[in-house]
Chain A
Amino acid sequence: MTFAAVGHGTLAAAAPQGFLSPTGVEIAFVLVGLVTLGAAVVTVTTRQLVHAALWLVVALGGLAVEYLLLTAEFIAWVQVLIYVGSVVVLLLFGLMLTRAPIGRSPDADSGNRPVALAVALAAAAALVWVVVDAFRTQWIDLDKPQGTTDVTGSILFRHWVLPFEALSVLLLAALVGAIVLSRRNAARSESPGPPRAADSDKEQR
Chain B
Amino acid sequence: MNDALDVALRLLVVFVVFLALPLVIGQTEHKVMAHMQGRLGPMYAGGFHGWAQLVADGVKFAQKEDIVPAEADRRVFQLAPAVALLPYLLVLLAIPIGPSEGAVGQVIDAGVFFVLAVMGVGVLGSLMAGWASANKFSLLGGLRTAAQLLAYELPMLLAAASVAMAAGTVSLPGIVHAFEWWWLPWQIVGALVFFVAGLAELQRPPFDMPVADSEIIFGAYTEYTGLRFALFLLAEYAGIVVLCGLTTVLFLGGWHGPWGADGLGWVWTLLKTAVLAFVVIWLRVSYPRLREDQLQKLSWTLLVPLALAQIALTGIVKVAIN
Chain B residues in 8 Å Cβ range of A96: 127, 130-131, 139, 142-143, 146
Interface residues of B (CB under 8 A from A): 71-73, 76, 108-110, 113-114, 116-118, 120-121, 123-124, 127-128, 130-132, 134, 139, 142-143, 146-147, 149-150, 153, 157, 170
Q: Is the CB of B73 within 8 A of A86?
A: no
Known pairs A74-B109, A145-B109; A102 contacts B132 (CB<8 A): yes
Q: Are A148 and B150 in contact (CB under 8 A)?
A: no
Task: Name the residue of chain A whose CB is nearest to the CB of B74.
Answer: A102
Are B124 and A84 interface neighbours, CB within 8 A? Answer: yes
A72-101: contact bitstring with B at CB < 8 Å (1 yes, 0 no)?
A: 011001101100111011101100110010
Closest 3 A/B residue pairs (Cβ): A85-B120, A81-B117, A93-B146
Least CB separation from A82: chain B residue: B117
A50 interface residue (CB < 8 Å to B):
yes
The size bracket of the interface on A is: 20 to 34
A-B contact pairs, 30 of them (CB 8 A): A54-B76, A54-B128, A73-B108, A73-B110, A74-B110, A77-B114, A78-B117, A80-B117, A80-B120, A81-B157, A85-B121, A86-B120, A86-B153, A88-B124, A89-B124, A89-B149, A92-B124, A92-B131, A93-B146, A93-B147, A96-B139, A96-B142, A96-B146, A97-B143, A100-B131, A102-B72, A102-B132, A145-B109, A149-B110, A149-B170
B114: chain A residues at CB < 8 Å are 77
Contact (Cβ within 8 A) A50 B76: yes
**A92 lies within 8 A of B113 (CB):** no
List A29-77 residues whose CB lies under 8 Å from chain B.
50-51, 54, 57, 73-74, 77
Give A64 Cβ to nearest chain B Cβ, in Å.
Answer: 9
A111 to chain B, nearest CB (A): 27
Residues of A within 8 A of B110 (CB): 73-74, 77, 148-149
Bound-state Cα–Cα, A50 to B80, Å: 13
Closest Cβ of chain B to A9, distance in Å, is: 28
Q: How far is the CA of A96 from the CA of B140 in the complex (A)?
A: 9
Complex Cα gap A145–B146 (Å): 35
- Decide: A84 near B109, CB < 8 A? Known: A57-B124, A93-B146: no
Instruction: A55 to B301: give the CA distance in the assembly, Å.
Output: 35
Query: Known contacts A93-B147, A149-B170; is A85 also within 8 Å of B131 by CB?
Result: no
A149 touches B127 (CB 8 A): no
Give the residue name and chain of the B residue nearest to A74 (CB).
Answer: B110
Decide yes or no: A81 and B139 within 8 Å by CB, A74-B109, A102-B72 being known contacts: no
* Structural contact, B153 and A85, CB atoms closer than 8 A: yes
Tell me whether A80 and B118 are in contact (CB under 8 A): yes
Q: A84 to B128: give the CA distance in the assembly, Å.
A: 13
Q: In terms of DSSP, what is the predominant structure of the interface of chain B?
A: helix
Q: How far is the CB of B224 from chain A (nearest CB, A)?
A: 16
A51 to B149, CA, bound (A): 21
How far does the alpha carbon of A48 sit from the alpha carbon of B147 in the complex, in Å?
A: 23
Q: Cβ of B131 and Cβ of A81 under 8 Å apart?
A: no
Given contact pairs A73-B108, A81-B120, A96-B143, A89 touches B76 in the complex (Cβ within 8 A): no
Q: B120 — which chain A residues lie within 8 A by C-beta?
A: 80-81, 84-86, 89
Other CB < 8 Å A-B pairs besides A73-B108, A89-B124, A96-B139, 20 of them? A50-B73, A50-B131, A54-B76, A77-B114, A81-B117, A84-B117, A84-B121, A85-B117, A85-B121, A89-B120, A89-B123, A89-B146, A90-B150, A92-B124, A92-B142, A93-B146, A93-B150, A96-B146, A100-B131, A102-B73
Q: A115 to chain B: closest CB distance in Å?
A: 30
List, in ascending order, chain B residues with CB within 8 A of A57's CB: 124
CA distance A90 to B120 in the complex (A): 12
Closest A residue by C-beta to B113: A77
Give the docked Cα–Cα distance between A84 and B90 (Å). 16
Distance between Cα atoms of A50 and B130 in the complex (Å): 12
CA distance A93 to B147 in the complex (A): 7
Residues from 78 to 135 in A contacting B, C-beta threshold 8 Å: 78, 80-81, 84-86, 88-90, 92-93, 96-97, 100, 102-103
Residue contact A92 to B116, C-beta cutoff 8 Å: no
Q: How far is the CA of A54 from the CA of B132 in the complex (A)?
A: 12
Most buried by B among A57, A85, A89: A85
Query: Nearest CB to that of B157 among chain A residues?
Result: A81
Contacts of B116 in A (CB 8 A): 81, 85
